[in-house]
Amino acid sequence: MLKLLVKGDLIGEIGFFSDRKTDYKAVSLNVASLAVLKKEDFLSVIRQFPTDYEQYSLMKDNINLYENIKGLDHKCMGCGSYTHYLSGC
Ligand SMILES: [Zn+2]
């Protein structure tokens, strides 16, 4: 499947939050600016905020246990649904 991403789109967020290995690949057609957040940096910050860390842990469990991605504001790249990701489309 091929999807054209636009400014502000995210890739890899499900893998980031779930610790699952994803197989998304991206190729830029032009010069692109990217932001990268290392997981260890994210964890070192979010652990300082117990409520946010609890929310993160809940999101992670929902993805890994129930394949529920609600809360990530992620649309399936195949159909646009917010209830599953591409591999479950
Ligand atoms: Zn879908």
The answer to whether the CB of 65 falls within 8 A of the CB of 57 is: no
Alpha carbon distance 89, 1 (integer Å): 12
- Secondary-structure breakdown of the chain: helix, strand, coil percentages, each rounded to the nearest 5: 40, 0, 60
Q: 79: Cβ–Cβ under 8 A, 6 or more apart, which residues? A: 89
Say if residue 37's pLDDT is above 80: yes
Rounded to the nearest angstrom, the distance between the alpha carbon of 76 and the centre of ligand 1 is 5
Rounded to the nearest angstrom, the distance between the alpha carbon of 47 and the centre of ligand 1 is 32
Alpha carbon distance 89, 68 (integer Å): 13
**Per-residue confidence band for 39, with pLDDT thresholds at 50, 70 and 90:** very high
pLDDT digits (tens, 9 = 90+) for 40-85: 999 999 999 999 999 999 989 988 898 877 777 777 778 888 777 7
Average pLDDT over residues 12-19: 86
Rounded to the nearest angstrom, the distance between the alpha carbon of 81 and the centre of ligand 1 is 5
Rounded to the nearest angstrom, the distance between the alpha carbon of 48 and the centre of ligand 1 is 35
CA dihedral 40, 45, 51, 52 (to 10 degrees): -70
